């Protein structure tokens, strides 16, 4: 696909995600981890303006100099910014203003790409497209949180488009022999810097489940008092359960004697055969402890994932988010993309049902703090 075609495809998908929203939905920020949809629309546009157009095209006319302060996320190199907790307080710029900003930058990129690009600028543009795809997944998860915490439980998708009940998937385990296995991205196609460098690891033998833990299995954990027995939890996880009165995965509600679950199609009864969703690392670790098993390391997951289907949920691993051997941050703002977050976070592997098409690969390393669960996260057992 030509670069401009790919640019339009990716940018168009962002707007498709937002199409079902009402104007009021664009501006809400219920918690610090959730950004208003209009901020995502502006920030992904700001990336192309800031890192492509302004430094590499002298003829470009900046849309609004104040937008750098509004839409910078965490790039210290680029200057001051609105603090993350205040993104929901920005009534201006309006949604219409931000879409005008988007059109302005898209039109400029279309002209800019008529000229031959140095390879480093082309690579930067490709990084920008993958950055936007990351925000497409964040958009989907943030929209679900915004609507799922509205007391009306409004559906994001048409109610008549209700999903079919999940079919039971055969269980079982794949055995992986002890050995030395390659880890990390290989080849010349795109990857993020945290997937480099390719190296070998020594793994002991293990067996890993061919399917994810289901809601039915997780309901057994709840019924067995999993959330009230400290023996299954890390100390920090137990403190989190107690302090936040956690009794079930995010979006679960016990109503009239039945567990209900908010989905993008509204509130429905928990579907037993669906893979459990929106659990924290703390919950995942407690569940596997209750089962007398464990989570995979990210290296075990990458080695075994060639032998089972994946991509329905981001899967918690037992691995801390750390640099691979020889990892080096790029100079300047782009070097802030991944490296500075390599502390106090857990790696998740795979993808989810809201990961954009073409954005998943077996070496992809997602990462979040252990208490977070607004992403589409699930559990795979290892024994």
Tell me the per-residue pLDDT of 131-163, one tens digit each, with 9 for 90 and over.
999 999 999 999 999 999 999 999 999 866 555
pLDDT band at 174 (very low <50, low <70, confident <90, very high): very high
141 and 181 share one domain: no
242 and 135 share one domain: no
pTM, full prediction: 0.95
Any domain includes 163 = no
* Domain hosting residue 107, numbered range: 3-154
Here the tokens at position 269 are 């009864």
Please work out, in degrees rounded to the nearest 5, the angle formed at the alpha carbon of residue 382 by the alpha carbons of 377 and 383. 155
pLDDT band at 230 (very low <50, low <70, confident <90, very high): very high
pLDDT at 51: 95
Indicate the DSSP class of residue 255.
E
Here the tokens at position 318 are 């037992």
Query: How many CA atoms, within 13 angstroms, populate the side-chain half-sphere of residue 282?
Result: 25
- φ, ψ (nearest 5 deg) of residue 254: -90, 105
Indicate the DSSP class of residue 382.
B
Q: How far is CA 319 from the centre of its chain?
A: 17
Any domain includes 161 = no
295 and 343 share one domain: yes
Any domain includes 143 = yes
Any domain includes 162 = no
Domain end position, chosen among 111, 128, 154? 154
132 and 175 share one domain: no
Using CA atoms, how far apart are residues 113 and 109, in angstroms rounded to an integer?
Answer: 6
Instruction: From 58, 18, 8, select the one nearest 38 (Cα to Cα).
Output: 18
Using CA atoms, how far apart are residues 230 and 98, in angstroms rounded to an integer?
Answer: 48
**Helix (H) or strand (E) segment spanning residue 348:** strand 346-350
pLDDT at 37: 98
179 and 271 share one domain: yes
Domain end position, chosen among 95, 119, 154? 154
Instruction: From 305, 314, 308, select the one nearest 359 (Cα to Cα).
Output: 314
CB atoms within 10 A of CB 44: 25
pLDDT at 164: 55
Indicate the DSSP class of residue 210.
S
140 and 279 share one domain: no
Q: Do strands 266-269 and 258-263 pair parallel, antiparallel, or not at all (unpaired)?
A: antiparallel
Domain end position, chosen among 108, 128, 154? 154
150 and 247 share one domain: no
147 and 293 share one domain: no
Instruction: From 90, 34, 88, select the one nearest 67 (Cα to Cα).
Output: 90
Here the tokens at position 309 are 């289907």
- Percent of the chain residues topping a pLDDT of 70: 98
180 and 82 share one domain: no
331 and 360 share one domain: yes
- Does pLDDT of 333 surpass 80? no
Using CA atoms, how far apart are residues 53 and 49, in angstroms rounded to an integer?
Answer: 5
- For residue 200, give the CATH number of its domain: 3.90.1580.10
């Amino acid at each position: 696909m030509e670069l401009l075609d790919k640019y339009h495809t990716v940018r168009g998908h962002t707007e498709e995600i937002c199409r079902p929203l009402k104007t009021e939905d664009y501006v809400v920020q219920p918690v610090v981890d959730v950004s208003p949809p209009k901020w995502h629309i502006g920030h992904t546009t700001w990336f192309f303006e800031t890192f492509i157009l302004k430094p590499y095209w002298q003829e470009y006319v900046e849309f609004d100099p104040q937008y750098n302060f509004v839409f910078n996320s965490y790039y210290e190199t680029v200057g001051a910014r609105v603090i993350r907790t205040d993104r929901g307080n920005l009534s201006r710029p309006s949604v219409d203003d931000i879409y005008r900003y988007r059109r302005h930058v898209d039109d400029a990129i279309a002209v800019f790409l008529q000229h031959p690009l140095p390879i480093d600028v082309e690579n930067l543009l490709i990084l920008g497209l993958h950055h936007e795809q990351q925000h497409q997944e964040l958009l989907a998860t943030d929209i679900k949180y915004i609507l799922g915490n509205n007391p009306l439980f409004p559906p994001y998708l048409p109610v008549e488009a209700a999903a079919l009940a999940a079919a039971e998937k055969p269980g079982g385990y794949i055995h992986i022999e002890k050995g030395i296995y390659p880890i990390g991205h290989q080849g010349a196609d795109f990857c993020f810097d945290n997937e480099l460098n390719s190296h070998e690891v020594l793994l002991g033998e293990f067996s890993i489940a061919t399917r994810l833990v289901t809601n039915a299995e997780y309901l057994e954990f709840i019924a067995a008092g999993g959330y009230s027995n400290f023996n299954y939890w890390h100390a920090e996880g137990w403190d989190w359960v107690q302090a936040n009165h956690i009794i079930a995965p995010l979006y679960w509600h016990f109503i009239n004697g039945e567990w209900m679950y908010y989905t993008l199609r509204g509130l429905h009864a928990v579907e037993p055969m669906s893979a459990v969703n929106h659990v924290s690392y703390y919950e995942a670790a407690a569940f596997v402890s209750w089962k007398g098993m464990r989570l995979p390391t990210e290296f075990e997951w990458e080695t075994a994932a060639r032998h089972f289907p994946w991509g329905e949920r981001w899967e918690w691993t037992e691995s801390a988010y750390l640099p691979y051997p020889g990892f080096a941050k790029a100079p300047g703002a782009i070097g802030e993309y991944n490296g500075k977050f390599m502390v106090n976070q857990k790696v998740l592997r795979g993808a989810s049902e809201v990961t954009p098409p073409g954005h998943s690969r077996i070496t992809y390393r997602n990462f979040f703090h252990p208490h977070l669960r607004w992403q589409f996260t699930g559990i795979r057992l290892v024994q």
